[in-house]
Amino acid sequence: NYSEYFKEHKTTKIKIVEGESDDYYKYQQLCRGETLKTPQEEKHLRCYVTDRGHPLLVLQPIRVEVLNENPSIVMFHNLMTDYEIELYKELATPMLTRARVQTESHSDEVSKVRTSQTAWFSPQTHKVVKNINLRVEAATGLSADMDKSHCELVQIANYGMGGHYVPHYDYLIVDRPPEERRLAPAIERAAGDRTATLMFYLSEVIRGGSTVFTRLGTKVIPEKGAAVFWYNLYRNGEGIEDTVHGACPVLMGEKWVANYWIREIGQTFKRKCSLDPNE
């Protein structure tokens, strides 16, 4: 069971964009408040309301804001209530530990590129966690069943003053050579890569703390109760390199987020393959 395996391996696996790269320079620009998108790129961005044809959303449709068209990055507004947010923080606080990452050499170490505290929990932790899992499925159209390895455990991250996360990809396996892929535990290979990311904002941030997509010029300002969603992989399973992103330093206040990393397994009939390699 992937959920049981993950309880014993609570390490964030990341692929960092190293050095003084163009991504890091744009990360700094976006965090400073500079605008990188052109009016031509921004003119097609829009908002809409939808129930996605899902019974859970018929009486309470979601408000969607398109932040980038291709690749698609959207924000779901008011997807979490204040009560649910406070419960998540309450559940996470006793379990918070300094963020650790798995390096390229597969060693486990305290992160210098992600300065935050993290905690993990499953739907068995509280019934509200299970309810939010169902809401994630309704909003995304994907399966987030953690018991079936379709999604990793919920990760709560708390960034204090100065807390940040340098530019990185969320996908783990697809860009590695075959010999490196074989080093990953069999249970992880079976679950597939992180096909999509949904990140809830559990707090407003007084200043700083935005999520920035360096190659797209997209900046997402934290909004309590909202969630930002994007795909990390094309339908053919290849990584979408333009999804490299980072978390700007928190300058005032603190930042809380809840990450849902949805795996490829379980999405076979939810997000089918396409003949278009760019889809």
Average pLDDT of span 129-143: 97
- Phi, psi for 46 (deg, rounded to 5): -155, 175
Q: What is the pLDDT of residues 67-118, one digit of tens each?
A: 999 999 999 999 999 999 999 999 999 999 977 555 555 555 555 566 689 9
Residue type present at position 102:
Q
Q: What is the pLDDT of residues 177-187, one digit of tens each?
A: 777 777 777 77
Where are the strands (E) in 62-189, listed by range?
A: 62-68, 73-77, 97-98, 100-102, 108-110, 117-121, 154-159, 165-169
Q: Which residue has the higher pLDDT, 199 or 186?
A: 199
CB of 277 closer than 8 Å to CB of 238: yes
Q: What is the pLDDT of residues 4-51, one digit of tens each?
A: 666 555 555 556 665 558 999 999 999 999 999 999 999 999 999 999
- Is pLDDT at 120 greater than 70 in this prediction? yes
- Phi, psi for 68 (deg, rounded to 5): -155, 140
* Per-residue pLDDT band at 278 (split at 50, 70, 90): confident
In whole angstroms, give the CA distance from residue 113 to residue 162: 12
Q: What is the pLDDT of residue 142?
A: 98
Q: What is the pLDDT of residues 236-249, one digit of tens each?
A: 999 999 999 999 99
- Is pLDDT at 279 greater than 90 in this prediction? no
Q: Which residue has the higher pLDDT, 186 or 221?
A: 221
Q: What is the pLDDT of residue 48?
A: 98
Q: What SS3 class is residue 220?
A: strand
Q: What is the pLDDT of residue 105?
A: 52
Q: What is the pLDDT of residues 140-181, one digit of tens each?
A: 999 999 999 999 999 999 999 999 999 999 998 887 777 777
User: How many C-beta atoms surround the C-beta of residue 66 within 10 A?
Assistant: 14
Q: How many residues does the chain have?
A: 279
- Between strands 100-102 and 12-13, the pairing is parallel
Which superfamily does CATH assign the domain made up of 2-263 to?
A: q2cbj1_9rhob like domain (2.60.120.620)
* Per-residue pLDDT band at 199 (split at 50, 70, 90): very high
CB of 17 closer than 8 Å to CB of 244: yes
- Is pLDDT at 203 greater than 90 in this prediction? yes
| pTM score, whole prediction | 0.91
Q: Which of 240, 165, 213 is nearest to 41 (CA)?
A: 213
Two structure tokens written together for 65: 């804001």
- Is pLDDT at 2 greater than 90 in this prediction? no
